[in-house]
């Protein structure tokens, strides 16, 4: 793991050196943004496959609802029937999770890299880089204690929070529209709505705002990864799902 982290640190440092003539002291921050973009480009085929899978699952919704009603008293038989239906139609029920799962290692690498004072037995030189007045290894709490919410470092976080809030608001409005156009929620065997489903549909559009908490508690470098990835996800889902009004309603755009 130490050797791998050293290689990753070298990669980020190399990207920062290449970008230094253009971005000067912010070269390491831009290297993180560029690295995130490369990760998202690599994951994009999975996102396209996820969109195709979501479209297929939307078409299967009536059949799934019928199977749930038919086997409501036999959960094991229902699960088997659902798996047979997905296999027959060549649809993976887990395809929507793949893009997020695929990029999680990159996020944790970035988090670990800028949380470690030493890499491979040597001082972590990347911790000396900053974005304007905010150290890439620092957190929002450090900015608050150093100069306040509107100090030099605090303003960097204000900008990040504003970007995340803007993207989350876009996701919130789009998800509300999608869920309004989506088919009615399946009912239980007694004709009543499945317990908890109503509450989930109310909470679902708000999930994108959870990214604000992530940005507040992780190192600034990891926060940059999250903000870049979240913005990318929102734009990507807009184009991939623009012809599928009910699709994507069950999975609001989030970074992770």
* pLDDT tens digits, 117-147: 999 888 999 999 999 999 999 999 999 998 8
Q: How many residues does the chain have?
A: 256
Do residues 215 and 231 make contact, with C-beta atoms less than 8 angstroms apart?
Answer: no
Question: What pLDDT, on a 0 to 100 scale, did the predictor assign at position 58?
Answer: 75
Q: 49 near 95, Cβ under 8 Å? A: yes
Given a cut of 60, whether residue 91 has pLDDT beyond it is: yes
Q: Is the predicted pLDDT of residue 186 greater than 50, yes or no?
A: no
Instruction: Note the pLDDT of residue 82.
Output: 78
Alpha helices in the chain (DSSP H): 2-23, 27-70, 75-89, 98-113, 140-147, 152-181, 197-203, 211-217, 220-240
Indicate the range of 87-101, 160-174, 195-209, 236-250 predicted with least confidence. Answer: 195-209
With 60 as the cut, is the pLDDT of residue 8 above it? Answer: yes
Rounded Cα gap, residues 18 and 11, in angstroms: 11
What percentage of the chain carries pLDDT values higher than 70?
80
Q: How confident is the model at residue 188 (pLDDT cuts 50, 70, 90)?
A: very low
Structure tokens of 28?
């390491």
Mean of all residue pLDDT scores within the chain: 83
Exposed/middle/buried for residue 115 (C-beta within 10 Å: 0-12, 13-18, 19+): middle
Q: Cβ neighbours of residue 30 under 8 Å, at least 6 residues apart?
A: 16, 19, 22, 23
Asked whether the beta carbons of 120 and 91 are under 8 A apart, the reply is no
Output the pLDDT for position 172: 86
Q: Would you state the pLDDT for residue 2?
A: 75
Distance CA 80, CA 102 (A): 27
Which range, of 35-44, 59-68, 101-110, 194-203, averages the lowest pLDDT?
Answer: 194-203
| pTM greater than 0.85 | no
Q: Please state the rounded mean pLDDT for residues 73-89.
A: 79
The pLDDT confidence band at residue 178, using thresholds 50, 70 and 90, is low
**pLDDT for res 256:** 54
Q: Look at residue 229 in the predicted model and tell me its pLDDT.
A: 95
Report d(CA 228, CA 163) in Å as an integer.
9
């Amino acid at each position: 793991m130490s050797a791998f982290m050293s290689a990753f640190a070298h990669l980020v440092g190399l990207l920062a050196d290449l970008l230094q003539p253009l971005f000067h002291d912010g070269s390491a921050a831009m290297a993180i943004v560029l690295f995130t973009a490369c990760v998202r480009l690599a994951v994009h085929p999975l996102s396209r496959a996820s969109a195709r899978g979501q479209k297929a699952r939307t078409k299967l919704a009536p059949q799934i609802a019928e199977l749930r009603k038919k086997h409501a008293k036999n959960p094991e038989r229902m699960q088997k029937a659902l798996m047979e239906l997905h296999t027959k139609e060549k649809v993976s029920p887990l395809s929507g999770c793949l893009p997020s799962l695929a990029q999680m290692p990159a996020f944790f690498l970035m988090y670990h890299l800028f949380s470690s004072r030493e890499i491979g037995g040597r001082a972590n030189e990347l911790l000396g880089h900053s974005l304007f007045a905010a150290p890439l290894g620092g957190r929002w709490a450090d900015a608050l204690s150093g100069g306040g919410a509107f100090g030099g470092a605090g303003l960097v976080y204000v900008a990040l929070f504003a970007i995340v809030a803007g993207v989350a608001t876009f996701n919130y409005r789009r998800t509300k529209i999608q869920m309004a156009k989506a088919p009615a929620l399946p009912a239980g065997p007694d004709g009543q709505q499945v317990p908890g489903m109503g509450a989930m549909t109310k909470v679902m559009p708000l999930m994108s705002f959870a990214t604000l908490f992530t940005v507040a508690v992780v190192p600034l470098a990891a926060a940059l990864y999250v903000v870049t990835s979240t913005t990318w996800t929102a734009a990507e889902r807009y184009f991939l799902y623009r012809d599928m009004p009910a699709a994507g309603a069950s999975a609001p755009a989030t970074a992770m």
